[in-house]
Amino acid sequence: MMEEQKVTIKSKYANRLDGGYPLLLKEAIVNIHELKEEGTVLKLVDEKGRFLGKGYYGIQNKGYGWVLTRKDEPVDFSFFERKIKSAIQARQSFFDDPNTNAFRLVNGEGDGIGGVTIDYFNGYLLINWYSEGIFRFKEPILEALKNSLEFKGIYEKKRFDQKGQYIDDDDFVLGERAQFPIVVQENGVHFAIYLNDGAMVGVFLDQREVRKSIRDQFAAGKTVLNTFSYTGAFSVFAALGGAPKTTSVDLANRSHSKTIEQFSLNEIDYEAHEIRVMDVFNYFKYAVRKNIKFDMVILDPPSFARSKKHRFSVAKGYKDLLKEAIAITEDDGIIVASTNYAGFNMKKFKSFVEKAFKEMNGTYKIIQEHSLPDDFKTIPEFPEGDYLKVLFIKKIKG
């Protein structure tokens, strides 16, 4: 393990760290020019020399590193083993669930190790490293996993190149290589998972409870539009919940074959459903032109998206996206509005809904809310970590 380096935290930020805030911000560090090598263990003190905790130096889009402990203890294999064993113990109910074998095992700062997540896929683990700093602790983290859990193999994604993009190289780490796809279960539904094929693997685990609600409470007898559909996971759950027809729309070419694969895995006749490779914004215009309306519209856009004709950001464009959805939702229909953008809270998100319906001269009722599921552990001291916001909105007949 590297030598520790003393880092002084400005007084106005020291109180936040004292209160449990785990992120080291660039502007909080007095002697930032002394930081040289990512992965260095930092001994954090305030401007009076009072000990605040220990962390590490690692640059990612959020900050310059993370606080790991408030104790004056070594950051070594034993430290990571304790954290990982504690995280595994907190997910015991997922290990015991016969209908689900895909979930988050370690959720960064929520489990006390900011900058890394570990997901479990039917015996295989996927580690996401978000900075070179945390990647320097790869060996003790791997050893801690080997000591704490039985698994078949481990894959990794490095998400820390200069532009914050995924680094595409061989993702296999140790154990046995998987035969892809890995077929996993979520609440009895099957998904095809690829841990060796780019940055995304086939399903977003944080939407588990939302998918279950769609299947169990809302889909029966409904026509469903799934926008920004990726591999069609919402559509699969809607079909299994009794939706006679789903329409999945995504700009990515491979979304078509990936969605067919997920339907087929669950023995759903994909030809009874519509899969369109096109710009979602163009589809909205098409639906208005053809007077096509849906009983349920699902909106789960990326935080930022770009096509030939459109640039979209959740922060600036979600209200207008909602207006497009309202226009093609049947009276008494449901809009499932979702975002994983951490830059605003649920209150702000609800204000977009209010403005969108007001501008469309419509009325609505929020009938269900979701945030992150239990395996995506968060801490109240870091509200930005609780990023998922989902609203089930009923469009009231005018």
CATH assignment of 77-188, given 1.10.8.100, 3.30.750.80, 3.90.1150.10, 3.30.980.10?
3.30.750.80
Q: Where are the domains of the chain?
A: 4-69, 77-188, 204-396
Q: Which residues pair with 117 in a beta bridge?
A: 107, 128
Q: What is the pLDDT of residues 10-22, one digit of tens each?
A: 999 999 999 999 9
How large a percentage of the chain has pLDDT more than 70?
Answer: 97
pLDDT of 237 > 60? The answer is yes
| Topology, domain 4-69 | 2.30.130
Split at pLDDT 50, 70, 90, the class of 2 is low
pLDDT of 124 > 90? The answer is yes
Is residue 17 classed as helix, strand or coil in its secondary structure? helix
Amino acid at site 306 = R
Residue 291 and residue 35: Cα distance in Å, rounded? Answer: 60
The CATH architecture annotation of domain 204-396 reads 3-Layer(aba) Sandwich (3.40)
Nearest residue to 204 (alpha-carbon basis) of 116, 275, 103: 103
pLDDT of 1 > 60? The answer is no
pLDDT, the chain, mean: 95
Examine domains 4-69 and 204-396 and report if their fold is the same. no
pLDDT of residue 313: 87
pTM, two decimal places: 0.96
Answer with the residue of higher pLDDT: 163 or 58. 58
pLDDT of 161 > 90? The answer is no
Residue 30 and residue 52: Cα distance in Å, rounded? Answer: 14
